[in-house]
Structure 1
Amino acid sequence: MAVRATVSRFPIDSDALEASGLPWGLTVTPFAAKDENGIAPARGSNGHLLPRCENCYAYFNTYCELDQWAWNCSLCGTLNGLPSDAIARYSNPHSIPEMSSSFIDLELPLDGSEEEMTQARPVYVAAIDLSSSEEFLELTKSSLLAALEALSPGSLFGLATFSHKIGLYDVQGPVPVVKNVFIPPDAESKLPLELEDAMPLLQFLAPVETCKDRIAAALETLRPITSWERSSGAAQGMDGVLMGGRGFGTAMEALFNYLGSEFGNTFALARVFAFLSGPPDYGRGQLDTSRYGEQYASKRVDADRALLPEQTPFYKDLVSPTSILSKIEIFLTLELTALLQATIAVQSGVCVDVFAVTNEYTDLASLKFLSIESGGSLFLYSSTDDSTLPQDMFRMLNRPYAFNCVLRMRTSTEFKPLHSFGHFFPDPQYENLQHIICCDSYATYAYDFDFADNTGFSRHSGYPPVVQIAFQYTVVVPPEGLSSSELSASSRNIIASCILEMNLIPCTRGKHTLQRRLRIRTMQFSAAQNINEIYDSVDHEVVLSLLVHKVILVSLEDGVREGRALLHDWLVILTAQYNDAFNLVQYKNVNKSMSSQIDITFSQCPQLEPLPRLVFALLRNPLLRFHEEGVHPDYRIYLQCLFSVLEPSSLHCGIYPSLMSYSTPDKQAYPRHSLSRAALMTSGSPIFFLDAYTTLIVFYSSTADPSLPFPPPQDCLLRKTINEVKQGRSITPKLMFIRGGHDDATAFENYLIEEQDVDGSGFASAMGFVAFLDDISQSVAEYMK
């Protein structure tokens, strides 16, 4: 669990917070195998025996004062008695994880419903769009073949297709057999036949270890539906009128109901891979793509505001907690408390990964909820030619994931979480409690704080601010080879570590089992005594993360222009507060204008220096550029989904790419350059490596010595750096090699943003970043008058 705060020294009260001009909060990556310093948690068992505060329900931790019979809560100060079993257990503190570390990971006993699922097998279902092209299907086949190699033994796999009908494949016999269910063309009608009646689910779900070749053979039979098939299918319900042929919404709804019938018996979590080549235009959940067109060329219509919200709640409702709860009541007929209902709702939710391979408007603003509400991922590829879909699927299935997760934030009584950001849904009953259907080791969430009252942190209280994050989750453990009693403690720890960090599952016979765990991170901070201490403790990457979450939220609600205005105004206020705190502006100086006195570069505080450049880059990013500048609305939605789950350092790379130079492929020259042509010309280096998170570019300048090998050889330092970068990514970045003077360098030059105008005019300006700073300086002068 990696946790990073915007400031490591918290503001002492609300006045200090306002005076700083900074967001106050943190980011958390709960399923990261190690913390932000590379330290793994102390592991143990009996998490249910961990003492909890009677007042605030925080867990006992190393910051609590402990005597023989009682302990003081480090969050609220309440004195709690110790039960007799805890007294005996804590008599030998060296063997107890919560006594030795503030970062612990404890095994929990399974409850009654979970014990019934301990032999559940992982289930994966591919839903493939046949209203597509041969190239799309070839890419999809390659991706699924890669996925089959990554799936662990004991997994179950189902192959389905959709167009104007849903196809279910039985691959457990000698020859693949497909059963079709036709989709009604209108948006109100449901399927005339349940999928379970067309093919029993256990006939549809095939064991990977025995049916891999048959699944591959079934994939080879896939063909795009012809125009005749499409019009024929549509004509059944519309008197010969062609309505389209991509019944994606109906197919997803039917698959969720289909899989839900076996939740808790056959599987504990099902992942659906949805491969989409265009907008749903048939059946339930069909989308009107005509809203994206020439009508938004007029300045009288704000296209960015019109195209960002979803046009239908259909897809959000499919994975909402309310929808899932209704399915549970139908299929399981369980009588549960409200909290348990919410927990089981998450556990039974199907995780959906959407892979959209298209350059036409598909309205991802509506479709995104399938992934972000279910704990899945949204991938967008503009073409099949240079798509990294096969690599992304293999990478995704080879990293660890947890499911049925509950994330809880607790703080000292003086302050509280104000907002939470991320791909989760809040508990309907309890504050600061979020449910996550599926969570991988990259998924990151953010919180911002506010004071509970005007008191703040007293200078004389002696109790520093404390944050405690509890993350309860389930993981799949290897098939039974040896019983737990036959394994030594060290062996069990090694296996658990492999599961959590490498997602390794030995190829042994038997069924998968589930393990419920509780991970707790307790962090103690200090309160700053003055504004200098706050500024000196700033983590600019976490500040950027909070800003990105806030501008995405504002953009969705009020449009891109409001998001840009929020960002601009924030930097103006921060600059004014900083200049005021350091007394840098002499109001009575009549010889100089006020704007010339303003320190816009934060020269007195190195921790703040990167922020103007990051804000400039964020304003230049497609996330906040205008529709009329050529930003496709689906690409903007994709960036919103991607940026809102990245940990701070990765997000920094995505917003302001890293540019380093090499004198030769084996010798680095400078580790960091600004993104400007001037930096390239003055560096004197012939080779540059740009890392923009989703894209990696190696650029040889036109003046590079022709004897330098191009592209760089596989065994050189530059290649080693590239490979290390690729291995640490949640997605597969595109790698490009460009030779200046021979190849088109536009792709590289587009990232040199500091000479580009930030006002959105679309024309490059030699004073881009400089003019931006001047504009901010003028705005600060107006603000401070």
Structure 2
Amino acid sequence: MVLRLAKRSFSRDITVEPTAKTESNEAPSITYRFAEASAAMAMRATVSRFPADDKTLEASGLPWGVTVTPFAPADERGDTPLYGSGGHLLPRCENCWGYLSALCEIERWGWTCALCGSFIGLDSATLDRYTQPQDCPELSSSFIDLELPAEGSGDGEMQTRPVYVAAVDLSSSEEFLELVKSALLAALEALVPGSLFGLVTFSHKIGLYDVQGPIAVVKNIFIPPDLEDRLPVDLEDVMPLLSFLAPVETCKDRIAAALETLKPTTSWERTTAAGQGHNDGVLLGGRGFGVAMTALIDYLSSEYGSTFALARVFAFMSGPPDYGSGQLDTRRYGEQYASKREDADLALLSEQTPFYKDLAAVAVQAGVCVDIFAITDEYTDLASLKYLSIESGGSLFLYSNMDDSTLPQDMYRMLSRPYAFGCILRLRTSSDFKLGYSYGHFFPDPQYENVQHIIYCDSFATYAYDFEFANSNGFFRYTEPPVLQLAFQYSIVVPQEDTDTSESNSARSVDPEATLSILVHKALTLLEENDDDKLPTKVILASLKEGVREGRLLLHDWLVILTAQYNDAHGLVQSGAVNETSRVDVAFSQCPQLQSMPRLIFALLRNPLLRLHEEGIHPDFRIYLQCLFSALEPISLQLAIYPLLASYSTPDNLAYPRHSLSRGALLASGSPIFLLDAFTNLIVYYSPSADLSLPFPPPHDCLLRTTINKLKQERCITPKLTFIRGAEDDASVFERYLIEEQNVDGFSSLMGFDSFLEEISQGVVEFLK
């Protein structure tokens, strides 16, 4: 077990300072200056200099918070953490429980906590150890990993064995099962030695597979059609857990052979098992997912901490749960809410039952992480199912097309990269400010505030926090700089590998990627919270009462307010003194760090996450994006919101590294080849005017292909790669990303970027009147 600590100090003066005097006034300007210490990848702040008080925060117009990637292999400067032992001996503050770090002052008899300022005495043994600070990582670096002794007793080797269970939906098709088989075969190749693997199936019955003998044996437990609670028999009584969990290194071939025996249940089997039962006039189906997951989590929990330290369930679904406890009524998608005067976006975003959220709490206590793979174009009500995955530390995946699904690649990639398990995350602040709201795929500790439990965490997993002042005074002028300390306790199965790190962000005083990340998290909160008191800032004040429409309006208004405050602070226009939109600087010409913000907000407003139901956005796809976006690190999230479009003169020559997303930009560049990176999609587009002598598709040894391969390798999920020759192929897949045009996807109600800027300018005029 390892304790990771990352501690950073920030300047506290996003200040309002006077600019040159004009004839009529002395205008203040918001200055965003560089921090003395750049934030680590584990803590990426929206602004490198923190606001001095609430008034300054409000005047800046920016969200105040951080994104946290706790298992990142290195910080943004490329520095890896210093390693050491004796994490349990690290001194802690008796007042705030923060850890001693390189930012703390050590004196003759003790140390001063950099978080709360308390003086803590040290015993003689610790003082002797700190007489040689070069041997103490906590005094040499503010980014460290310290080993902790194993807790409890017993067979340590057994306790570190990870468990993986595939739960496969047999109320499906042959095509579905073939794709799942391919994915699980890829997963078996990626699992580390010592892993235990179990295979379970579900439909109107639950099947447990014993693959440790020469022939796979399956034992079935039928789910009573009128069951509203747990199975009448425990799975442990049907098959001992150690017979169900097979060592991968000795049973891989037998597991593969068992996968080949999977067959879909027939409609006759399902209707017979259901007894031709009806529920409110609807024929009961045969997908007992809720019953199966409840029984499986109970099954695994009996050996948690004894047989295994991590259990991960891969649940493959071909449709909604429609049998037994946890079944979902999918008629709500087919009904027209307009006839009932209901908001479809609002109704389809909320869960219809707390069953899966409650089950997630049980999974966390049992040390079970659940990943849901929905492989279907049928409405499955992911709004209800998502809690089982994201609150247990897992992920939710949606594959609506089996023909080009990247499921096998995603499974292999997910299991072959380093990951931590059994994690506890705590972010502490110095005393002048505090955490406001936290976002991410974790389960909050029921006893301790601001403590999150994460069963599974890889190097991409990102969480977010926003801040508020602890009192009305803000930061005292003569106090020490604001300090953040990230404490992350984890265990690890897969050894860490060297990975490329992103370029340093220390030269930015405002971080647009981190800012966008915080804004997206706030927007996601709007889509699922009903409590106004939990909403994190003054910018976004409404609850789910108005749904997606209200979220869009609030995001639009936030940009208006930010632009107005920027113009006012820089002396460009002042309140009550503007009546022409032409005078408004909507491009943030005097603040380069904010110049990308209008495009990012424009793109977010047009993203399916915030598009309306009547515009053809499938509710399950919206929920999938919600779960995906809420776990992405800032740079990936920006790509998912506003894709990167680059051009090439030939497959071996980069022409321009970045274009705006418009047809005009394509024509103006004069380049024949374009690469669009939308995070989940990579598109190579040859313009209709491209010389026919250019090789299509691009050769495997060219620069363009090398770039594509590198991008695919760096992703947490496998992007779909598409090649389009504009003169011959349907280019609509590429053109739909050109969002800056006036008409988008055939919806003329969506204005182009220029019109959007004009609307923001008009909003600024109204705001400043």
User: Do both share a fold (TM > 0.5)?
Assistant: yes
Decide which of 335, 352, 363 is 1:311's aligned counterpart. Answer: 352
Amino acid at match of 1:705: D
Task: State how 1:89-168 maps to structure 2 within 5 Å.
Answer: 89-112=129-152, 119-168=159-208
Task: Classify 1:735/1:90 alpha carbon distance in 2 versus 1 (closer, same or farther; 3 Å).
Answer: same
Whether 2:334 is the aligned partner of 1:293: answer yes
Mean CA deviation greater in 189-198 or 570-579: 189-198
2:54 aligns to what? 14
CA distance, structure 1, for counterparts of residue 661 and residue 496 of structure 2: 38
Number of residue equivalences = 706
Whether 2:754 is the aligned partner of 1:783: answer no
Decide which of 512, 529, 543 is 1:540's aligned counterpart. Answer: 512
CA distance, structure 2, for counterparts of residue 554 and residue 383 of structure 1: 30
Amino acid at match of 2:181: K
Task: Classify 1:90/1:582 alpha carbon distance in 2 versus 1 (closer, same or farther; 3 Å).
Answer: same
CA distance, structure 2, for counterparts of residue 113 and residue 415 of structure 1: 41
2:320 aligns to what? 279
Task: Classify 1:772/1:667 alpha carbon distance in 2 versus 1 (closer, same or farther; 3 Å).
Answer: same
CA deviation map 1:686-714 (0-9, x unaligned):
00000000000000000011011100101
CA distance, structure 1, for counterparts of residue 742 and residue 184 of structure 2: 41
Given that 1:700 and 1:738 are in contact with CA atoms closer than 8 Å, whether structure 2 keeps it comes out as yes
Given that 1:117 and 1:264 are in contact with CA atoms closer than 8 Å, whether structure 2 keeps it comes out as no
Mean CA deviation greater in 355-364 or 293-302: 293-302
Query: 1:457, CA displacement in angstroms?
Result: 2.3
SS in 1 for 2:592: coil
Task: State how 1:365-514 maps to structure 2 within 5 Å.
Answer: 365-461=383-479, 463-476=480-493, 499-501=495-497
Mean CA deviation greater in 373-382 or 59-68: 59-68
1:490 aligns to what? none
Amino acid at match of 2:132: N
Decide which of 273, 289, 294 is 1:248's aligned counterpart. Answer: 289
- Identity, % of aligned positions: 70
2:368 aligns to what? 350
Whether 2:612 is the aligned partner of 1:626: answer yes
Whether 2:298 is the aligned partner of 1:257: answer yes
Task: Classify 1:391/1:661 alpha carbon distance in 2 versus 1 (closer, same or farther; 3 Å).
Answer: same
CA distance, structure 2, for counterparts of residue 465 and residue 457 of structure 1: 8
Amino acid at match of 2:617: V
Task: Classify 1:39/1:211 alpha carbon distance in 2 versus 1 (closer, same or farther; 3 Å).
Answer: same
Whether 2:573 is the aligned partner of 1:585: answer yes
CA deviation map 1:567-626 (0-9, x unaligned):
01111111111011011116687xx83322111111111111111110000000000000
Mean CA deviation greater in 91-100 or 288-297: 288-297
Whether 2:31 is the aligned partner of 1:46: answer no
Amino acid at match of 1:469: L
CA distance, structure 2, for counterparts of residue 297 and residue 4 of structure 1: 43
1:673 aligns to what? 659
Mean CA deviation greater in 212-221 or 634-643: 212-221
Decide which of 542, 548, 567 is 2:555's aligned counterpart. Answer: 567
CA deviation map 1:159-204 (0-9, x unaligned):
1111100011111111111110001223514323221111111111
CA distance, structure 2, for counterparts of residue 408 and residue 291 of structure 1: 40
SS in 1 for 2:658: coil
CA deviation map 1:326-367 (0-9, x unaligned):
xxxxxxxxxxxxxxxxxxx55x32111111100010000011
Task: Classify 1:86/1:655 alpha carbon distance in 2 versus 1 (closer, same or farther; 3 Å).
Answer: same
Query: 1:756, CA displacement in angstroms?
Result: 3.9
Given that 1:116 and 1:264 are in contact with CA atoms closer than 8 Å, whether structure 2 keeps it comes out as no
Given that 1:757 and 1:769 are in contact with CA atoms closer than 8 Å, whether structure 2 keeps it comes out as no
Amino acid at match of 2:483: V
TM-score of the superposed pair, with normalisation by structure 1: 0.87
Decide which of 218, 232, 243 is 1:203's aligned counterpart. Answer: 243
CA distance, structure 1, for counterparts of residue 277 and residue 620 of structure 2: 31
Task: State how 1:715-726 maps to structure 2 within 5 Å.
Answer: 715-726=701-712
Mean CA deviation greater in 293-302 or 603-612: 293-302
Query: 1:304, CA displacement in angstroms?
Result: 0.3
Whether 2:56 is the aligned partner of 1:56: answer no
SS in 2 for 1:71: strand
Task: Classify 1:283/1:597 alpha carbon distance in 2 versus 1 (closer, same or farther; 3 Å).
Answer: same
SS in 2 for 1:58: coil
Given that 1:398 and 1:502 are in contact with CA atoms closer than 8 Å, whether structure 2 keeps it comes out as no
Given that 1:234 and 1:244 are in contact with CA atoms closer than 8 Å, whether structure 2 keeps it comes out as yes
Given that 1:134 and 1:223 are in contact with CA atoms closer than 8 Å, whether structure 2 keeps it comes out as yes
Given that 1:117 and 1:267 are in contact with CA atoms closer than 8 Å, whether structure 2 keeps it comes out as no
Given that 1:117 and 1:268 are in contact with CA atoms closer than 8 Å, whether structure 2 keeps it comes out as no
Task: Classify 1:593/1:225 alpha carbon distance in 2 versus 1 (closer, same or farther; 3 Å).
Answer: same
Given that 1:755 and 1:764 are in contact with CA atoms closer than 8 Å, whether structure 2 keeps it comes out as no
5+ residue gaps, structure 1, are 325-344, 478-498, 504-524, 526-532
Decide which of 645, 648, 667 is 1:662's aligned counterpart. Answer: 648
Given that 2:277 and 2:284 are in contact with CA atoms closer than 8 Å, whether structure 1 keeps it comes out as no
CA distance, structure 1, for counterparts of residue 483 and residue 230 of structure 2: 52
Decide which of 668, 685, 690 is 1:704's aligned counterpart. Answer: 690
CA distance, structure 1, for counterparts of residue 297 and residue 256 of structure 2: 24
Given that 1:120 and 1:265 are in contact with CA atoms closer than 8 Å, whether structure 2 keeps it comes out as no
SS in 1 for 2:740: helix
CA distance, structure 1, for counterparts of residue 490 and residue 288 of structure 2: 34
CA distance, structure 1, for counterparts of residue 524 and residue 154 of structure 2: 37
CA deviation map 1:386-439 (0-9, x unaligned):
100000000000011111111111111111111111111222222221111211
Query: 1:257, CA displacement in angstroms?
Result: 0.8
SS in 1 for 2:586: coil
Given that 1:319 and 1:374 are in contact with CA atoms closer than 8 Å, whether structure 2 keeps it comes out as yes
CA distance, structure 2, for counterparts of residue 581 and residue 368 of structure 1: 43
Query: 1:459, CA displacement in angstroms?
Result: 3.0
Task: Classify 1:618/1:318 alpha carbon distance in 2 versus 1 (closer, same or farther; 3 Å).
Answer: same
Whether 2:603 is the aligned partner of 1:617: answer yes
Given that 2:509 and 2:593 are in contact with CA atoms closer than 8 Å, whether structure 1 keeps it comes out as yes
Task: Classify 1:189/1:8 alpha carbon distance in 2 versus 1 (closer, same or farther; 3 Å).
Answer: closer
Query: 1:45, CA displacement in angstroms?
Result: 0.4
Given that 2:461 and 2:631 are in contact with CA atoms closer than 8 Å, whether structure 1 keeps it comes out as yes
Given that 1:183 and 1:247 are in contact with CA atoms closer than 8 Å, whether structure 2 keeps it comes out as yes
Query: 1:52, CA displacement in angstroms?
Result: 1.2
1:769 aligns to what? 753
Amino acid at match of 1:689: L
5+ residue gaps, structure 2, are 1-40, 500-505, 530-543
2:29 aligns to what? none
Amino acid at match of 1:277: S
Query: 1:293, CA displacement in angstroms?
Result: 1.4
CA distance, structure 1, for counterparts of residue 145 and residue 497 of structure 2: 13
Q: CA RMSD in A?
A: 2.1
CA distance, structure 2, for counterparts of residue 421 and residue 124 of structure 1: 27
SS in 2 for 1:774: helix
CA deviation map 1:27-51 (0-9, x unaligned):
0100111112221000000001111
Whether 2:525 is the aligned partner of 1:553: answer yes
Amino acid at match of 1:500: Q
Query: 1:502, CA displacement in angstroms?
Result: 6.5
Query: 1:299, CA displacement in angstroms?
Result: 8.7
Given that 1:305 and 1:556 are in contact with CA atoms closer than 8 Å, whether structure 2 keeps it comes out as no
Task: Classify 1:740/1:69 alpha carbon distance in 2 versus 1 (closer, same or farther; 3 Å).
Answer: same
